Amino acid sequence: MYLAVAGITWGEGLWPHVAHLGQVVLMMAYVATVTTALAHPPYFAGAAAVRAATAAVVMLIEPVSAVLLLAAIAGRAPAESRVRR
């Protein structure tokens, strides 16, 4: 997985090609720090409060539910992968 991401980064470039690079970098830093810091404590507190089997199922279903929720909010199906073959 990491090699695939590294290959995409190598081919496309690490930094986005936009006019306001500083704003993009600040938004990336915000998403990486603030939203993650707010989401992880309740997520793992909830996982610690239930049985191990229930926590495992919830953690496996969470990415699928995120994609379905995004599709419902965006109003369209998720696009196919854009990885070059």
pLDDT tens figures, 14-56: 666 777 888 888 888 898 899 889 988 998 999 999 999 999 9
Give the Cα separation of 40 and 45 in Å (integer): 8
Of 28, 3, 32, the closest CA to residue 16 belongs to: 28
Within-domain flag for 3: no
Would 13 be classed as within a structural domain?
no
Residue 69 lies in a domain: yes
Angle, vertex CA 26, rays to CA 23 and CA 28, nearest 5: 110
Look at the chain and report how many structural domains it folds into. Answer: 1
Q: What is the model's pTM?
A: 0.52
Contact indicator for 72, 84 with CB cutoff of 8 Å: no
Residue 46: give the domain boundaries: 19-85
Q: Note the pLDDT of residue 31.
A: 87
pLDDT in tens, 58-80: 999 988 888 888 888 877 777 65
* Domain-embedded: residue 41: yes
